[in-house]
Amino acid sequence: MYNQLIPNDFMTISEEEKRKVILTCAQPTGKLTLGNYLGAVRNWSTMLENHECYFGIVDLHAITTPTKPATLRQNVFDCVAQYVACGLDPEKCHQFVQSHVVGHTELAWILTCLTPIGELQRMTQFKDKVAKLGFKAAEQEGEEIKFTHDGARAQASINAGLLCYPVLMAADILLYNADLVPVGEDQRQHMELCRDLAQRFNHQFSETFVVPDAYVGETGSRIMSLADPTRKMSKSDENERATLYILDEPGQIGKKIASAVTDSEPVIRASPEKPGVSNLLAIHSALSGQTIDQLEEHFAGKGYGILKEELTEVITESLRPVREKYQELIQDKTYLRSVLAQGAEAAQKRAYKVLSKVYRKIGLPDRSKG
- Site residues (vs ligand TYM, CB under 6 A): 24-27, 35-36, 39-40, 58, 61, 169, 172-173, 181, 183-184, 186-187, 190, 221-223, 232-233
The phi and psi torsions of 76 (rounded to 5 degrees) equal -65, -45
129 is catalytic: yes
Largest distance between two CA atoms of the chain: 74
18 is catalytic: no
Please state at what angle helix 188-205 crosses helix 124-132, rounded to 10 degrees: 130
- Least distance from C-beta 183 to ligand TYM, angstroms? 4
- Least distance from C-beta 334 to ligand TYM, angstroms? 26
Confirm if 212 and 178 have CB atoms less than 8 A apart.
Answer: yes
Residue 6 or residue 247: which is nearer to ligand TYM going by CB?
247
CA 67/CA 314 separation, integer angstroms: 34
- Least distance from C-beta 279 to ligand TYM, angstroms? 10
Residue 186 or residue 310: which is nearer to ligand TYM going by CB?
186
Q: List the catalytic residue out of 92, 127, 235, 349.
A: 235
- Least distance from C-beta 188 to ligand TYM, angstroms? 9
CA 185/CA 171 separation, integer angstroms: 20
- Residue, CB closest to ligand TYM: 39
CB proximity list for 126: less than 8 A, separation 6 or greater:
120, 162, 163, 165, 166
325 is catalytic: no
Other beta carbons within 10 angstroms of residue 91's beta carbon come to 7
Residue 6 or residue 261: which is nearer to ligand TYM going by CB?
261
Query: β-strand 213-215 against 180-182: which pairing, if any?
Result: parallel
Residue 286 or residue 314: which is nearer to ligand TYM going by CB?
286
Q: List the catalytic residue out of 232, 256, 308, 353.
A: 232
Residue 6 or residue 169: which is nearer to ligand TYM going by CB?
169
DSSP secondary-structure letter at 93?
A: S
List beta partners, residue 141.
Answer: 144
CA 223/CA 39 separation, integer angstroms: 7
Instruction: Report, as residue numbers or ranges, the catalytic residues.
Output: 129, 232, 235
